[in-house]
Amino acid sequence: MRASDRAYATLLDEIQSGVLRPGAVLGEVEQAARLGVSRTPLREALGRLGADGLVAQQSPRVTVVTAIEPDDIREIFEVRRALEESAARLAAERGDAAIFAELARDFARVDLADGDHDGADARDEYYALIARFDESLDSAVANDYLTAALRTVRTHLVRVRRLARDNPGRLAASVAEHRLIASAIAARDADLAAHATHVHLHNALTNILESLDASAGSATGAGSPAHDPVAQPVDAPRP
């Protein structure tokens, strides 16, 4: 594996997981030394992260991790709605019905299992299933350009999810919503698939924004308690 790939993967993970917080300054020599690579591959990694929108040049001399604010989340969900509604429609038109019928069954099963044991276990199963659903969707749509655009959106979504604590009730509802979407695609009902996607995204966004409001009310800025040992100067989240 190339050094630039390692640097990109590591930085991506650290940004998505919150180890590198928004506003953290990413100096080239500093990060290159920390990750054990030279400046050249690190620059390539920073370039890719910049293309993804995860880092930006605050000034011509300083690269920082970008912030995600409620307005960003709304914007991301607008793009997400546009792309995923289309994807759902296209999947309903051309997808393999059997695959989505099976996905719908699996979502139904998780829905039941959720009563048995809620917690990290159910959540892991949920996220794994979502990932499988996304993969199946991409494969059914068979559109590299759409998949690429969705990939960018999903990259940002990882960070968004981290900001918002998902309550157990929302989890169960989300599973049910996905089940409906999968069923609609399996039934080749493009309108229903699109509208169910719309509903799902509306609910997800609402939940996230409410969760953000709640945590903003309880503790200001102490959402993620993790004191990071890496991101040195967390000054200037935005000028």
Per-residue binding letters, 36-65, with DNA (x by CB under 7 A): -xxxxx-xx--------------xxxxx--
153 binds, among DNA, its own copies, none (CB under 5 to 8 A by kind): its own copies
Select 72 or 228, whichever has its Cβ closest to its own copies: 72
Stretch that binds DNA, among 24-32, 73-81, 100-108, 187-195 (CB under 7 A): 24-32
First-to-last alpha carbon distance for the chain, in angstroms, is 38
For residue 53, give the nearest of 176, 160, 143, 142 by alpha carbon: 160
Query: How big is the chain by its Cα radius of gyration, in Å?
Result: 19
Min CB(154)–its own copies separation in Å: 12
Min CB(44)–DNA separation in Å: 7
What Cα–Cα distance (Å) separates residue 166 from each residue in 16, 20, 71, 153, 169?
16, 22, 19, 19, 8
The DSSP element (H or E) to which 109 belongs, if any, is helix 97-116
Select 74 or 117, whichever has its Cβ closest to its own copies: 74
Residue type present at position 146: L
Select 39 or 117, whichever has its Cβ closest to its own copies: 39
Give the span between the Cα atoms of 185 and 99, in whole angstroms. 10
Note whether 82 binds DNA by CB under 7 A: no
Give the span between the Cα atoms of 48 and 58, in whole angstroms. 16
Select 27 or 223, whichever has its Cβ closest to DNA: 27
Q: How many residues sit close enough to DNA to count as binding (CB under 7 A)? A: 20
Give the span between the Cα atoms of 154 and 53, in whole angstroms. 12
Select 6 or 188, whichever has its Cβ closest to DNA: 6
**Please, what sign has the CA dihedral across residues 72, 143, 131, 21?**
negative
62 binds, among its own copies, DNA, none (CB under 5 to 8 A by kind): DNA
Interacting residues with its own copies (CB under 8 A): 40, 43-44, 47-48, 51, 53, 72, 75-76, 78-79, 81-83, 85-86, 90, 143-146, 148-149, 152-153, 156
Min CB(39)–DNA separation in Å: 4
Min CB(68)–DNA separation in Å: 22
Which residue among 4, 136, 174, 207 contacts DNA (CB under 7 A)?
Answer: 4
The DSSP element (H or E) to which 218 belongs, if any, is helix 190-218
**Please, what sign has the CA dihedral across residues 56, 58, 62, 68?**
negative
- Residues of the shown chain interacting with DNA in the complex, contacts defined by CB under 7 A: 2-5, 26-29, 37-41, 43-44, 59-63
